[in-house]
Amino acid sequence: MFSDYTGDELQSIFIMQGFAGLSQFSVFLLMALGLAIIFGQMKVINMAHGEFLTAGAYTTVLMSDLVNTYCPAMRPYYFFFAIVMAFIVAFILGYIVEYLLVRHLYNRALDTLLATWGVSMIMQQGFRLIFGGREDSAELPEWLMGSWAPTDSIDIPINGLFLLGTAIVMTLIICLLMYRSRWGLCVRATVQNRTMANAVGINTKNVDRMTFALGCGIAGIAGAAFTTIGSVSPAAGSLYIVDTFIVVVFGGAGSLLGTIISAFGIAQAQSILEFFLSGVLAKVWVLTTVVIILMLRPQGLISNKVRK
Amino acid sequence: MDKKTNFTFFKDRSAVASFTLLAIVLLILFPLALDSFRLNMLAKYLSLAFVAVGLVLCWGYGGILSLGQGVFWGLGGYCMAAFLKLEAAKNIAAEAGTDQIKALTTVGLPDFMDWNQVTELPYIWYPFKSFPLTLICMLVVPGLLAYIISIAIFKRRVNGVYFAIITQVLCWIMEILFVTRQGWTGGINGITDLRTCLGWDLRTDSAHTILYFITVVLLLGGILVSKRILHSKMGQILVAIRDMEDRVRFSGYDVSNFKTFIFCFAAIISAVGGAMFTLNVGFMSPKLVTIAPSIYMVIFCAVGGRRSLVGAVYGTLIVSFGRTYFSEQFPELWMFIMGGVFILTTVVCSDGLAGLIEQYGGTVGSKCMKWTGMDKRSCPMQGKFKAGKELS
């Protein structure tokens, strides 16, 4: 399959596809970070995670419309506010869902799957009623358009770079939050031994609620970042949900490092295979490989050593 | 339990009553009340109930939630569809006269293969030239796939959640494969335009009625065999595995063998349902084997009561009718209603209708309960375990 191309072409193909893979990696990673917290730490299977992404994306679209109509002067900078707003909206939605639904279902992992699938249906239909079924997109500030061309045959779009940057910054923030802050300590304590955490004075109910809401908020940020590379439709989030679960499970639930590695591996493998095979067949190969590896190593690539 | 229960389908009289009631409703009441169009629709729903019955076995009793039962259902359906399609192709060739047909298409080749420039019948289609071989394939292919999956997964002690996600991915892989291998499977349209089975026209009213009865008899038969399994020692061990897997393992049982058996059995039951669906409806398409339909199948089972075989059938009928009705009457609202049903059944009554009748049957219901058989005794072990304590 390589023989049709010259060495230079191959190099460019690999760099371009590799970079396309990096954009996909960023979306996967942003989605998976939230899910890794919710699923990995709390053992809640949140099938509505994709809808929180859509909520964040629609918030960004709304912000872009608002800025365009009321104060066009803000256009170059609004995107950063949009990200913050997307986080807040998804955070609040997540908080409500946890309070109304998820808290009744702790320790019943499979039931959370079904119930949150119901939530995702309701949210999707809600988006459809509010925003209509057609695809929307946010108007991007000018500095996000265009591309950067280091050589003649390589052409790297700026929005992809921005997406990558967002993913890296978010990962750093989450790592600091989980492993360097008081709150992260409480989360980890609650996950390891709920009764004991309660006994030493941690309000575990509160911790659960904030953890869930934070995971959803990160999905909202993923949604805001997502608008830089694609348009939003009510079902946009559900396209990614199975992929995201695969990323989290493959990386090893509860391990942030594993999530990063598996998001990178899956995105790159898919992107590079996509050029040589047809797009969907590349997906079949990647998914099959992942399933086989998961069968050999059910705990995922990197597993936390926890005594059961 | 008296001595006769050494080989019996039922645990007690109320179980007999619930089964009889279902049989009366399906075999006598519905055929008398409905015309052949509605009956055909009902048969379509009942072919989905096969999957729900399989899910009661592996989810309600074995604690294995598979989100990919649609794969086995679809494989059974595709096997049947392949046979019917070859027959249809043969008929077209016979009707049109070979000379004319030869100029346009390849004789005896399904039309979609022509459209996709496939000039020779692929090897995997050869078994479907004969009806007995098709029947064998219909059971063996899904059974074998289920066996391979379960050997690989249960031996490695992959637990509920991971299993659910892996089966969901399998569902996705299968959908992509069936859509992209157009020349072999008919692509996104699936295998359509199926008319006759062994020379018998499937589209007439009388055929619809007869097919309905075949579906019902097979379904009732499936329930009987499942009841037999549940009331044997095997069923007891399954429940034990569901509730405390490690203890069963430490008692010296090979847990993975039991899980493998029940998963394969559920897959084979589902495949029969898929084949009946193809016969009843006249087509099979990859849209029916994607992730969402498989999740609907789980909800059929949850609404009826995940521990009641008879309840699963009622659950399928109620949800399917509700879906048809609401999506026709209130297209805007039906997603909300379905979502609400998902949430309510899992949060409020995790034992579904069967559990509700048991709980709130009250004084009026006590007799009904005896007759419908949805009381404690008809669902062995039910009530002894609270849903919250279930290990999943």
Report the chain B residue with the minimal C-alpha distance to residue A122. B336
Answer whether A205 touches B (CB < 8 Å).
no
Answer whether B209 touches A (CB < 8 Å).
no
What's the CA gap between B251 and A161, in Å, rounded? 57
Answer whether A287's CB lies under 8 Å from B173's CB.
yes
Measured in angstroms, the CA of A56 and the nearest CA of chain B are apart by 21
The pLDDT assigned to B269 comes to 94
- Running DSSP on this structure, what letter comes out for residue A134? S
What's the CA gap between A215 and A225, in Å, rounded? 16
Phi first, then psi, for residue B180 (nearest 5°) are -85, -30
What's the CA gap between A36 and A21, in Å, rounded? 21
The pLDDT assigned to B19 comes to 85
Answer whether A301's CB lies under 8 Å from A259's CB.
no
Report the chain A residue with the minimal C-alpha distance to residue B64. A110
Measured in angstroms, the CA of B35 and the nearest CA of chain A are apart by 34
**More confident call, A73 vs A211:** A211
> Do A115 and B180 make contact, defined as CB atoms within 8 angstroms?
no
Average of per-residue pLDDT across A210-226 = 92
- Running DSSP on this structure, what letter comes out for residue A157? E
Answer whether B275's CB lies under 8 Å from B84's CB.
no
Measured in angstroms, the CA of B226 and the nearest CA of chain A are apart by 23
**SS3 readout for chain B:** CCHHHHHCCCCCHHHHHHHHHHHHHHHHHHHHHCCHHHHHHHHHHHHHHHHHHHHHHHHHHCCCCCCCHHHHHHHHHHHHHHHHHHHHHHHHHHHHCHHHHHHHCCCCCCHHHHHCCCCCCCHHHHHHHCHHHHHHHHHHHHHHHHHHHHHHHHCCCCCHHHHHHHHHHHHHHHHHHHHHCHHHHCHHHCECCCCEECCEECCCHHHHHHHHHHHHHHHHHHHHHHHHHHCCHHHHHHHHHHHCHHHHHHCCCCHHHHHHHHHHHHHHHHHHHHHHHHHHHCCECHHHHCHHHHHHHHHHHHHHCCCCHHHHHHHHHHHHHHHHHHHHHCCCCHHHHHHHHHHHHHHCCCCHHHHHHHHHCHHHHHHHHHHHCCCHHHCCCCCCCCHHHCCC
> Do B338 and A249 make contact, defined as CB atoms within 8 angstroms?
no
Answer whether B110's CB lies under 8 Å from B86's CB.
yes
Helices (H), A193-278: 194-199, 204-226, 238-251, 256-276
The pLDDT assigned to A307 comes to 54
What's the CA gap between A252 and A248, in Å, rounded? 6
Answer whether A153 touches B (CB < 8 Å).
no
Give tens-digit pLDDT for A12-27.
Answer: 777 777 788 888 888 8
Residue showing tokens 């995105």: A267
Answer whether A96 touches B (CB < 8 Å).
no
pLDDT tens-place values along chain B, 392 residues long: 444 445 566 666 777 888 888 888 888 888 888 888 888 889 999 999 999 999 999 998 888 888 889 999 999 999 999 888 888 887 777 776 655 555 455 666 777 777 777 777 777 888 888 888 889 999 999 999 999 988 888 888 777 788 888 898 889 898 888 888 877 887 788 888 787 777 777 778 888 888 999 999 999 999 999 988 988 888 889 999 888 888 988 988 888 899 999 999 999 999 999 999 999 988 888 888 888 889 889 988 988 888 888 889 999 999 898 888 888 888 888 888 888 988 888 888 777 787 777 776 554 555 555 555 555 444 444 444 444 444 33
Report the chain B residue with the minimal C-alpha distance to residue A296. B156
**What residues are paired with B200 via a beta bridge?**
B197
Q: 3-class DSSP state for residue A80?
A: helix
Q: Diameter of chain A by CA atoms?
A: 66
The pLDDT assigned to A262 comes to 92
What's the CA gap between A41 and A191, in Å, rounded? 6
Q: What are the angstrom distances between the C-alpha of B234 and each of A207, A222, B34, B219, B386?
A: 42, 48, 39, 21, 22
Answer whether B369's CB lies under 8 Å from B355's CB.
no
Q: 3-class DSSP state for residue A45?
A: coil
Could you say which residues from 243 to 302 on chain A have a Cβ atom under 8 Å away from some Cβ of chain B?
245-246, 249, 278, 280-281, 283-284, 287-288, 290-291, 294-296, 298
What's the CA gap between A35 and A42, in Å, rounded? 10
Answer whether A38's CB lies under 8 Å from A215's CB.
yes
Residue showing tokens 């015309």: B35
- Pick from A242, A249, A295: which is nearest to B172 by CB? A242
Q: Identity (one letter) of the amino acid at B392?
A: S
> Do B392 and A109 make contact, defined as CB atoms within 8 angstroms?
yes
Report the chain B residue with the minimal C-alpha distance to residue A123. B336
- Running DSSP on this structure, what letter comes out for residue A232? B
Does residue A278 have a pLDDT over 90?
no
Q: What are the angstrom distances between the C-alpha of A160 and each of A23, A52, A146, A226?
A: 5, 21, 10, 10
Answer whether B81's CB lies under 8 Å from B278's CB.
yes
Global pTM value: 0.85
> Do A296 and B302 make contact, defined as CB atoms within 8 angstroms?
no
Size of interface A-B (CB pairs under 8 A): 115
Residues 6+ apart with CB under 8 A from A171: A29, A33, A256, A260
To the nearest whole percent, how much of chain A has pLDDT over 70? Answer: 96
What's the CA gap between A236 and B253, in Å, rounded? 46
ipTM exceeds 0.90: no
Q: Which of A28-42, A65-79, A187-201 has the lowest mean pLDDT?
A: A65-79
Could you say which residues from 97 to 136 on chain A have a Cβ atom under 8 Å away from some Cβ of chain B?
101, 104-105, 107-115, 117-122, 124-125, 128-129
Q: Which of A240, A242, A263, A218 is nearest to A56 (CA)?
A: A218
Answer whether A235 touches B (CB < 8 Å).
no
Answer whether B361's CB lies under 8 Å from B373's CB.
no
Answer whether B152 touches A (CB < 8 Å).
yes
Answer whether A193's CB lies under 8 Å from A8's CB.
no
What's the CA gap between A48 and A55, in Å, rounded? 11
> Do A281 and B340 make contact, defined as CB atoms within 8 angstroms?
no
Interface test with A, best of B163, B180, B342 (most A CBs within 10 A): B342
Q: 3-class DSSP state for residue A156?
A: strand
Q: Is A73 exposed, middle or buried (0-12, 13-18, 19+ CB in 10 A)?
A: exposed
Answer whether B264's CB lies under 8 Å from B150's CB.
yes
Angle formed by the axes of helices B160-180 and A279-296, nearest 10°: 150
Q: Which of B221, B288, B218, B262 is nearest to B75 (CA)?
A: B288
Phi first, then psi, for residue A31 (nearest 5°) are -65, -45
Q: Identity (one letter) of the amino acid at A256?
A: L
Residues 6+ apart with CB under 8 A from A17: A271, A272, A274, A275
Q: Please give the distance of CA B300 from its chain centroid, rounded to a whole number.
A: 10
Considering only CB atoms, which chain A residues are within 8 Å of B161? 43, 45, 109-110, 113
What's the CA gap between A70 and A209, in Å, rounded? 36
- Pick from A45, A118, A125: which is nearest to B161 by CB? A45
Q: Identity (one letter) of the amino acid at B289?
A: V
Answer whether A239 touches B (CB < 8 Å).
no
The pLDDT assigned to B385 comes to 44
